[in-house]
Structure 1
């Protein structure tokens, strides 16, 4: 045996997975394999490359890079002692990743034609079976983690966008309010110079705060609003209010009309009318800003509440009552940004009088998220998704229905298989529905799917005695 082959046998024997393999079996493996050396930065494989050999890294390091759009993501390294490629009993046909040599590497390559002979050597095949099992566990765990990180990234981006809108509105409102308040001293002087009786003040106050209490109106059409603004502007110009055009938009928004202005005019002397109308406009504008700030703060609070419900913060990990309407609504909120990008309508039909059922809420949130996320991807622009719940025969049924293009017949039997995906390379790991299936089984429930062009329905059935 040559010095290189002796080196290979010694290296194999030093690896933990081969420590119980007799030396004669390792000698036989090396004699019937090929020893190859690859230089730093050399690419050994590309995505789609057919894999017909087993690789044992005798020395060196190789990086695994998955395509992500136009770039690559490193998901780990093969180092000295690792086994890769096509192992005995493996169903691997081709690689999904780039394999890039990070430092000069020596590999023992064994062609699949030798696998039948390997199975006749018990200790040797046992070592490879253990390695295959370890590889499956490691890869599955890593891919599940990647799936969670990708999902988290999508949800985080959506929530950040949803939070940004009301937060920006609050900043705008607060800035404008601060600007208004800086003008208060001058307006205060104008108002304080007015000599009105208590009855006059009460009459104007009652009208203003009655209008303000109703809030701004969105019931008018654009043409109606424009016509009203023109009428108000004309009235104020006729009554010597030179800045009336600045007030008319706010007055119209709070449904002031010329009769209301006549009422104010009847209680205020002409010389004081501009100052009084300016004060009224200031009160209404401030009210409007406070409404916008309050509405934005409420939207942020609702989003935070949805995030807490979705992530199951402040809760234990035991089974508990699943508040279907609440948890599904929070999931829709988390995916709302993605849905709005395609103008997808998500309709929840969840009766309030459903019986209680128990489950692991945080895991079930993964189920709702995967099914809704896939549905959003599947439907066309302006598509529709319906989530419906009903109770019958001591079971809780949930239906996730979308009007997408449907799942092809040849694909349908495979959708719950681990690592099966129809998405482009780098866009899906093929573990989403596999995770859904496992969580459903953990709950003693079942999941079925029916699909045809224009409609796909996932049916989930949870026993109520769980």
Structure 2
């Protein structure tokens, strides 16, 4: 076992500027402890009697929520935890359990006053550690409070939207059923007046709405030409509102040949009434379909909001498919994709196993990174957002890339700094990537950025098993 020296303490970033004589005093008044993997360093209710300087190994700091461990920090080599100068904490509120064999240096809290009086730089360094810890905890608490508030808002929104959406879907289904019933009754009446072949022609025309999505959409010039031609033809039959009827028939892919087949099924004096009846049926069919589609979108959006905030789940790490969170984030930002005319390219690894994570927090990561990418492509014609996932068996890698102008090389190193932003005043706070970095670090992961003109990518990596 390598002996702890002042030189090895100066490698620790928090202690690098502390004079050697003060570190020597710290060493002479501390003692080493070896903590085997699985052993507890402390537990709730025990007094905080030491400052812990981690030499090697890892200790998980966690609390129990609903009988499940929720980790809020990971102490690794060079980390400093426990009692610090001017700390008001006297009793441990969490567990500290070694994830692997761990070596620590323990400085007694009873000597803290002596240190404060006689060793300014050492005290200053440890106060800085304490202020960073308070800031991190406050940031984490703010994130939790925001997600809880959003969860409550989403719960109310989901409840309020879900009821009318369900009613709309139910009403649309009833309307569709009655429309079909009216149509069947009409067919029965028609059979007494025309041949069965004529009835089948009418049925075929009225079913064209069902195949609307399979038909190619004509261009603007071609559609205009078809509409003018059909309008002129209908006017020769003295059809009232010929222009409006032609517009709707063209929408459903019908042409002069289809209209002529229909008119041949009915007596000539009824031509105008018949064409208007055909048009009304097609329009009603489309309206019913649009009602069903719109209500389904509301239901999907409510579900996405619910999943995005993870409001019906615990706040602890659990195994889940990260693709669900990414796709729900895309639904939440769908309006920006439409406004910016951005195309999405998904390269997801279908064999990716469920990952252990705090899903609500990760959704904040995807939201911030995707939202930034969309802002970057705001003035990029043919914007493309590329999302890909992969795994090496131990970790999962999520890449979010855009084909925007890129990030200038001289500011790449600053983008994760709090309050740093390249956006116009009022459009950004400069905290999005700072939040991303903090959440990913809570998951023991990393975020890497690579940017050149025409491609910027963020690669998020974190362990599969938490």
Q: Bin the TM-score by the shorter chain.
A: 0.5 to 0.7
Q: Provide the C-alpha distance between the structure 1 equivalents of 2:372 and 2:220, rounded to a whole number of angstroms.
A: 39
CA contact (8 A) 1:144 1:431 kept: no
- For the pair shown, the structure with the greater C-alpha radius of gyration is 1
2:328 to 314, 327, 330: 330
CA contact (8 A) 1:367 1:439 kept: yes
DSSP-derived class of the 2:331 partner: helix
CA distances 1:180-201 after superposition (whole Å, capped 9, x unpaired): x9xxxxxx99x99998246376
Q: Which residue of 2 aligns with 1:353?
A: 351
Q: Pairwise mapping of residues 308-327 of structure 1 onto structure 2 (< 5 A)? A: 308-327=306-325
Structure 1 residue 417 displacement after superposition? 4.3
Q: Provide the C-alpha distance between the structure 1 equivalents of 2:245 and 2:363, rounded to a whole number of angstroms.
A: 50
Q: Provide the C-alpha distance between the structure 2 equivalents of 1:242 and 1:425, rounded to a whole number of angstroms.
A: 57
Q: Provide the C-alpha distance between the structure 2 equivalents of 1:314 and 1:204, rounded to a whole number of angstroms.
A: 52
1:245 to 220, 243, 246: 243
- Taking a change above 3 Å as real, the CA distance of residues 375 and 200 of structure 1, as seen in their structure-2 partners, is closer
Structure 1 residue 208 displacement after superposition? 2.8
Q: Pairwise mapping of residues 279-294 of structure 1 onto structure 2 (< 5 A)? A: 279-294=277-292
1:232 to 225, 230, 233: 230
RMSD value, Cα: 4.9
- Taking a change above 3 Å as real, the CA distance of residues 143 and 457 of structure 1, as seen in their structure-2 partners, is same
CA contact (8 A) 2:416 2:433 kept: yes
- Taking a change above 3 Å as real, the CA distance of residues 120 and 411 of structure 1, as seen in their structure-2 partners, is farther
Q: Which residue of 1 aligns with 2:78?
A: none
Question: Could you tell me the TM-score, scaled by structure 2's length?
Answer: 0.56
CA contact (8 A) 1:403 1:454 kept: yes
Q: Which residue of 2 aligns with 1:213?
A: 210
Report how many residues are paired. Answer: 329
- Taking a change above 3 Å as real, the CA distance of residues 144 and 456 of structure 1, as seen in their structure-2 partners, is farther
CA contact (8 A) 1:217 1:253 kept: no
Structure 1 residue 140 displacement after superposition? 7.5
Structure 1 residue 317 displacement after superposition? 2.5
Q: Which residue of 2 aligns with 1:25?
A: none
Q: Provide the C-alpha distance between the structure 1 equivalents of 2:360 and 2:306, rounded to a whole number of angstroms.
A: 11
Q: Provide the C-alpha distance between the structure 2 equivalents of 1:427 and 1:147, rounded to a whole number of angstroms.
A: 24
Structure 1 residue 428 displacement after superposition? 4.8
Q: Provide the C-alpha distance between the structure 1 equivalents of 2:422 and 2:225, rounded to a whole number of angstroms.
A: 56
Q: Provide the C-alpha distance between the structure 2 equivalents of 1:136 and 1:430, rounded to a whole number of angstroms.
A: 21
- For structure 1, list consecutive stretches of 5 or more residues without a partner in the other structure: 1-118, 182-187
DSSP-derived class of the 2:297 partner: helix
Q: Which residue of 2 aligns with 1:40?
A: none
Q: Which residue of 1 aligns with 2:390?
A: 390
2:372 to 353, 370, 374: 374
Q: Pairwise mapping of residues 163-202 of structure 1 onto structure 2 (< 5 A)? A: 196-197=193-194, 199=196, 202=199
Structure 1 residue 120 displacement after superposition? 6.3
Q: Provide the C-alpha distance between the structure 1 equivalents of 2:139 and 2:128, rounded to a whole number of angstroms.
A: 16
CA distances 1:219-245 after superposition (whole Å, capped 9, x unpaired): 222233233323333333333434433
- For structure 2, list consecutive stretches of 5 or more residues without a partner in the other structure: 1-115, 179-184
Q: Provide the C-alpha distance between the structure 1 equivalents of 2:354 and 2:195, rounded to a whole number of angstroms.
A: 61
Q: Provide the C-alpha distance between the structure 1 equivalents of 2:243 and 2:191, rounded to a whole number of angstroms.
A: 22
CA contact (8 A) 1:143 1:429 kept: no
Q: Provide the C-alpha distance between the structure 1 equivalents of 2:420 and 2:231, rounded to a whole number of angstroms.
A: 67
Q: Provide the C-alpha distance between the structure 2 equivalents of 1:354 and 1:445, rounded to a whole number of angstroms.
A: 17
CA contact (8 A) 2:321 2:353 kept: no
Structure 1 residue 365 displacement after superposition? 0.7
Moved more, 337-346 or 220-229: 337-346
Q: Provide the C-alpha distance between the structure 2 equivalents of 1:146 and 1:401, rounded to a whole number of angstroms.
A: 25
Structure 1 residue 339 displacement after superposition? 4.3
Question: Could you tell me the TM-score, scaled by structure 1's length?
Answer: 0.56
CA contact (8 A) 1:147 1:431 kept: no
